[in-house]
């Protein structure tokens, strides 16, 4: 095991982790990309440092090797992916206030350059890609401040399911609203559940991403 890639592959097998599990923990690479990075020995320091921190691997041994091979403990941290449950599945959860700051979503639904903070467990029959906490009160009482919400990326914008709840992402704003039909072509009307918030006329051309609300994890605040 004279390369970093070979040492990581050894730890991966001993830990019983799939390439997909490692990719999700890193958060900025797909499973096949992770497999190639390890086997072809070009996984970078940022990636294997995250894996060492989250899986309890010996970072010094990964970087420098040595004759003494460290013991590999089978850990199940809070963001453990390879679990065996019959009723629930994990959705990557980012503890971010996405109403502020520039966030770039990857094609696989993760966030560029960031690993998930945890996983939100949702029923297996619910189709969702990613989860965030809720900040604010515009959708109260249906969605409250602090609730964890799982979303599904909507890629087909040829029509809208009006009246459903969505996260709308523009260059400057991220908000959860009902999408309603607008009287003007090229626009949608965004409405809040909380009547204290005024409707918003939103040009469709200004929208970067649309994510549909699929699961609401209520939190007592």
Per-domain boundaries in the chain:
4-64, 88-217
Higher pLDDT, 30 or 91: 91
| pLDDT, tens only, 89-143 | 788 888 887 665 566 776 666 777 777 777 888 888 899 989 999 988 999 999 9
For residue 130, report the phi and psi dihedrals to the nearest 5 degrees.
-155, 155
| pLDDT, tens only, 37-53 | 999 999 999 889 989 98
**Are 55 and 15 contacting, i.e. CB atoms less than 8 angstroms apart?**
yes
Which homologous superfamily is 88-217 in? Umud Fragment, subunit A (2.10.109.10)
Q: What is the pLDDT of residue 102?
A: 65
* 32-60 core/surface letters (b: 16 or more CB in 10 A; e: else): ebbbbbbeeeebeeebbebbbebbbbbee
How would residue 82 be classed by pLDDT, with cut points 50, 70 and 90?
very low
How would residue 10 be classed by pLDDT, with cut points 50, 70 and 90?
very high
- Between the two ends of the chain, the Cα-to-Cα distance in Å is 50
**Are 188 and 150 contacting, i.e. CB atoms less than 8 angstroms apart?**
no
Whether 83 has a pLDDT exceeding 50, the answer reads no
């Amino acid at each position: 095991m004279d390369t970093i890639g070979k040492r990581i592959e050894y730890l991966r097998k001993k830990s019983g982790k799939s390439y997909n599990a490692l990719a999700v923990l890193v958060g900025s690479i797909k499973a096949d990309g992770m497999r190639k990075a390890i086997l072809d020995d070009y996984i970078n320091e940022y990636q294997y440092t995250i894996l060492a921190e989250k899986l309890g691997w010996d970072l010094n041994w990964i970087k420098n090797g040595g004759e003494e091979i460290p013991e590999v403990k089978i850990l199940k941290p809070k963001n453990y992916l390879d679990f065996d449950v019959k009723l629930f599945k994990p959705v990557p959860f980012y503890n971010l206030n996405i109403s502020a700051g520039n966030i770039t979503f990857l094609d696989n639904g993760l966030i560029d350059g960031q690993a998930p903070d945890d996983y939100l467990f949702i029923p297996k029959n619910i189709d969702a890609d990613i989860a965030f906490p809720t900040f604010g009160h515009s959708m109260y009482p249906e969605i409250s401040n602090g609730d964890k919400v799982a979303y599904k990326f909507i890629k087909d914008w040829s029509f809208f399911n009006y009246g459903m709840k969505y996260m709308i992402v523009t260059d400057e704003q991220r908000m959860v609203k009902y999408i309603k039909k607008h009287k003007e072509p090229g626009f949608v009307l965004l409405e809040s559940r909380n009547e204290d918030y005024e409707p918003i006329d939103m040009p469709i051309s200004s929208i970067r991403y649309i994510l549909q609300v699929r699961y609401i994890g209520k939190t007592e605040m």
